[in-house]
């Protein structure tokens, strides 16, 4: 058990809950962020505390820089430091690319790209001061292909931008012993699946697989890895 502090944003989402539970096995202090679902956030907190870990919940709108700055400050005020940041939030909207509105674009870009940037930006000063940090962003398994995504165009654009941000920050923070990596899930069991899609066992990933990848990148075992994009997607559309 390590005394490091881990913040999971978007912790009440399908993947976020799995990541919180997995990181609670390695770290004794967890910060659980939520936007709307306070009851689920508090339920997660109770589960973590029942295992004799420290946990606290924080509400913030991360699509605004002021919200991200407030969140980071509150986490540090509560725990004294922030060592591990896992950026989980990410809305998705299935809509034909030529019917998208300005609001569609803004909502998806803000929730998937800007929110992660704002949190990363405000978490870095403390990590730099201690010369240690782990930042893990959650991506999209097909962004490396730079293909066509007519049904989820803003989402794919945002996640591609997040990959570029991940690799930019990774190079910039090498001297500070801060790693910045990405975990990119595909279709996940228990999540939203395309209607009528027929899959064989092993074709899609599991929440536990994504959580294990995050846990590895957050650990000392991954100290030599930065700028990486770990794809956790089973074999569907590989």
Of residues 169 and 97, which shows the higher confidence score?
169
Q: In this structure, is residue 113 part of a structural domain?
A: yes
Cα–Cα distance for residue pair 91/61, rounded to 1 Å: 13
Residues 106-163 have pLDDT tens digits of 988 999 999 999 999 999 999 999 999 999 999 987 777 656 666 678 888 899 999 9
| Predicted pLDDT at 36 | 92
High-pLDDT (> 70) share of the chain, %:
87
* Residue 193 covered by a domain: yes
* Structural domain includes residue 110: yes
Q: What is the pLDDT of residue 192?
A: 62
Which backbone phi and psi does 188 adopt, to 5 degrees? -125, 135
- pLDDT number for residue 126: 98
Which pLDDT score, from 0 to 100, does residue 191 have?
Answer: 61
187-211 pLDDT, tens digit per residue, is: 777 666 555 556 666 677 789 999 9
Query: Is the model's pTM score more than 0.95?
Result: no
pLDDT category of residue 33 using cuts at 50, 70 and 90: very high
Q: Is residue 13 part of a domain?
A: yes
Specify the pLDDT at position 1: 66
In a domain, 238, yes or no: no
User: Is 238 a residue whose pLDDT tops 90?
Assistant: no
Question: Which residue would you say has higher pLDDT here, 168 or 89?
Answer: 168
pLDDT at 207: 92
pLDDT of residue 155: 82
Q: Is the pLDDT of residue 8 over 80?
A: yes
Structural domain of 209: 2-232
Q: How many domains are contained in the chain?
A: 1
Query: Is the predicted pLDDT of residue 174 greater than 60, yes or no?
Result: yes
Look at residue 188 in the predicted model and tell me its pLDDT: 73
**Percent of the chain beyond pLDDT 90?**
69
Assigned domain for 237 exists: no
CATH code: domain of residue 31: 3.40.50.720
């Amino acid at each position: 058990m390590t005394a490091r502090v881990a913040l999971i944003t978007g912790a009440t989402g399908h993947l976020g809950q799995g990541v919180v539970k997995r990181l609670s096995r390695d770290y004794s202090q967890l910060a659980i962020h939520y936007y709307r679902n306070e009851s689920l956030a508090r339920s997660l907190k109770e589960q973590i505390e029942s295992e004799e870990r420290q946990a606290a919940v924080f509400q913030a709108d991360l699509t605004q820089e002021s919200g991200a700055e407030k969140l980071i400050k509150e986490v540090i005020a509560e725990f004294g430091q922030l060592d591990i940041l896992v950026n989980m939030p990410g809305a998705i909207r299935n809509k034909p690319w030529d019917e998208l509105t300005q609001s569609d674009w803004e909502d998806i870009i803000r929730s998937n790209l800007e929110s992660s940037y704002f949190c990363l930006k405000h978490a870095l000063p403390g990590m730099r001061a201690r010369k240690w940090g782990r930042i893990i962003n959650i991506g999209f398994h097909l962004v490396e292909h730079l293909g066509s995504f007519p049904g989820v165009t803003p989402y794919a654009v945002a996640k591609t931008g997040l990959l570029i941000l991940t690799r930019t920050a990774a190079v910039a923070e090498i001297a500070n012993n801060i790693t910045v990596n990405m975990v990119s899930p595909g279709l996940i069991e228990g999540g939203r699946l395309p209607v009528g899609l027929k899959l064989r066992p092993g074709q899609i990933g599991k929440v536990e697989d994504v959580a294990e990848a995050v846990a590895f990148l957050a650990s000392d075992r991954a100290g030599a890895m930065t700028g990486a994009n770990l794809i956790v997607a089973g074999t569907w559309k590989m």
